[in-house]
Amino acid sequence: MLSDPIAAVATAPGRGALALVRLSGTGAFGIAAATVRRFSADQPRYATLGTFLDRHGHPVDRGLYTVFPAPHSYTGEDLVEFCCHGGAMAASQLLAALAAAGARQAEPGEFSRRAVLNGKMDLIQAEGVADLVDAYAPAQARAALHQIDGGLSARIQSLRTQLLDLVVALAYDIDFPGEDDGPISGAQLQQQLVQARAGMHELLRTAPAGERLRTGALVVLAGAPNSGKSSLFNALLGIDRALVTPLPGTTRDAVEADTEFEGWPIRLADTAGLREADDLVERLGIAVSRRYLAAADLVLLCAEASRPLGAGERQVMAERHTLVVRTKSDLMAGVGGEEVGGISVSVV
């Protein structure tokens, strides 16, 4: 049943001061009345202090509950939100009490699914909710909130309206071909068609940038073995994520981590050093490096400041969008760093 009562813990598991348990569906208030001592649904959207009980009537916690009668709730159904103490016990015991009273465990995303089915939001806004939950950079959060507020939905609705107007005008011309004064002239019809097509192309043009914002731009650290890639990778992350040794070829596989730069999401990848290798494992790692290079939005090409760039490194520059990073600049001033537009760094 699409309206049967469901319940779930809405906050992340683990130790914390508070947890939120959500109950929604037909009969939600009756289930809440069996779980909260002296439960009342007479004050919608008002936090009320109450004692939460298990199936035997024993107290499991004391906290706040808020009632949202249909259709004025997140799901469009009768909904109750319980604010209890966090940690391992309170929320799980409250959830068990709700289940004993007749609610079932909600499936992943089921509250938002019901919100869509009940007309509280559309699919695009529901995706925005998921994107906001998954966001780890401010730019992602801003874009997701704009999507939840209906920004993208409004653009698509505007295009839909334009196309429907065109369909109506075309249908009129087909049904009444002899009429001289139709609702719209042929020239106007052509102009609106051009405008609608331009709007669709513009919207599609933003799709790659939107996906990059959603998943994070892939920035790949590449270069010869022992060129300082892993040291730079750790420095950019602020933690020792990749192994660093004086031995060339320490990195045998790609190491990836999510981070953000100036508020924008970044997928940072440290890769195996590029060279001709006899070792099978290292050759496999280099093959992985080349696949990352092919997919990179930006390559940070690491090369020691003490030597000029080699032919292989210049080939990477020619094939990919590249920023040359002259590493280990504390050891030597470098030769020709400016000739390739590189920047000098030292992670010491």
SS (H, E, C) 247-271: CCCCCCCCEEEEEEECCEEEEEEEC
pLDDT at 281: 76
pLDDT at 315: 85
Kindly state the helix (H) or strand (E) to which residue 119 belongs, with its residue range.
none
Average pLDDT over residues 137-142: 92
Phi first, then psi: what are they for 194, rounded to 5°?
-65, -40
Rounded Cα distance between 308 and 302, Å, is 12
Whether 219 shows a pLDDT value over 80: the answer reads yes
Rounded Cα distance between 100 and 314, Å, is 67
pLDDT at 337: 44
282 CB-contact burial (10 Å; exposed 0-12 / middle 13-18 / buried 19+): buried
pLDDT tens-digit readout, 15-74: 899 999 999 999 999 999 999 999 999 999 999 999 999 999 999 999 999 999 999 999
Taking the model in full, what pTM does it have?
Answer: 0.76
Pairing of strands 298-304, 322-327: parallel
What percent of the chain lies above the pLDDT cut of 70? 92
Average pLDDT taken over every residue of the chain: 87
Long-range contacts of 188-191 (CB under 8 A, 24+ apart): none
pLDDT tens-digit readout, 273-327: 777 766 777 778 778 888 999 999 999 999 888 788 888 888 888 888 989 998 8
pLDDT tens-digit readout, 144-159: 999 999 989 999 999 9
The reply to whether omega before 71 is within 30° of 0 (cis) is yes
Whether 242 shows a pLDDT value over 60: the answer reads yes
pLDDT at 334: 46
Whether 1 shows a pLDDT value over 70: the answer reads no
The per-type count for the chain, helices as H runs and strands as E runs, is 11, 12
pLDDT tens-digit readout, 76-118: 999 999 999 999 899 999 999 999 999 999 999 999 999 999 9
pLDDT at 338: 46
Compare 330 and 154 and report the one with higher pLDDT: 154
pLDDT at 100: 96
Whether 336 shows a pLDDT value over 60: the answer reads no
